[in-house]
Structure 1
Amino acid sequence: MYLVAIAWAYVALMMAAAEATSPQGTLFGAFITLMLYGILPLGLLLYILGTPGRKRRRRAAESAAQGDAGGHATPGPAEGLAPEREEA
C-alpha cells in the first residue's frame, strides 16, 4: 500500500516541478498541482485504505478494556469474598 503512495507522491512532485520550471508555469500553479494531484488524493486514499486497521485496533482496545470475553471483570482473590476466620 505504501509503495503505491510513495510512487504517486513522486509523480505528483515531478509534475509540480515541471509546472514550476516551465516558462509558462508559476509557483502557484505548481502548488495547486501538488495539492490537487498529490496531497489531497493521497490523504483520502490512505484514510480509506487504513479503515480496516483502525477498526481492528479499536476492537482490540475495547476487548482489552473489558477484561475477559464475557464482558465481566474477573474477581481478584479477595474481591467479593468474606475473609475466612480461623478457629482455635
Structure 2
Amino acid sequence: MTDISHGAGAPAADRAANRYYFIAWRWHFYAGLYVIPFLLMLATTGLIMLWISWGAGLGAERMAVTQGEAVLPLSTLKAFRL
C-alpha cells in the first residue's frame, strides 16, 4: 500500500505549503547566523563591563567603613538614614 498524498502525486496546495515552509526555515537559519554573533558580542562586552566595575569598586561593592571611637545608639543611627 502506498501513500499518494506525498511526492509526485501530491496536490499543488501541499507542495506550495511545503515550499513556503522551507523558505521560512532558510530565512530563519540566515537570521540566526546574523543575530548569534551580535548576541555573543553583547554578552562578552557586558561581562567585561561587570568585571571592570567590580575591580574598580564602583557601586559600593568595596566600600570601607572605619570604626568610630564610640558605639552610637540606634536612635542616632536612624537619624542618618537617607
- Which structure would you say has the larger RCO, counting Cα contacts within 8 Å and 6 or more residues apart? 1
RMSD of aligned Cα (Å): 3.2
1:59 equivalent in alignment to 2:64 = no
Q: Give TM-score scaled by structure 2 length.
A: 0.51
Number of aligned residues: 60
Q: 1:1-88 alignment to 2 at 5 Å? A: 25-36=11-22, 38-68=23-53, 71-72=54-55, 74=57, 76=60, 79-85=63-69
- Structure number with larger C-alpha Rg: 2
Percent identical among aligned pairs is 5
Name the aligned partner's letter for residue 57 of structure 2: T
Name the aligned partner's letter for residue 26 of structure 1: A
Q: Give TM-score scaled by structure 1 length.
A: 0.49
- Structure 2 gaps of 5+ residues are 1-9, 70-82
- Structure 1 gaps of 5+ residues are 1-23
Displacement, 1:67? 4.4
Alignment match, 2:80: none
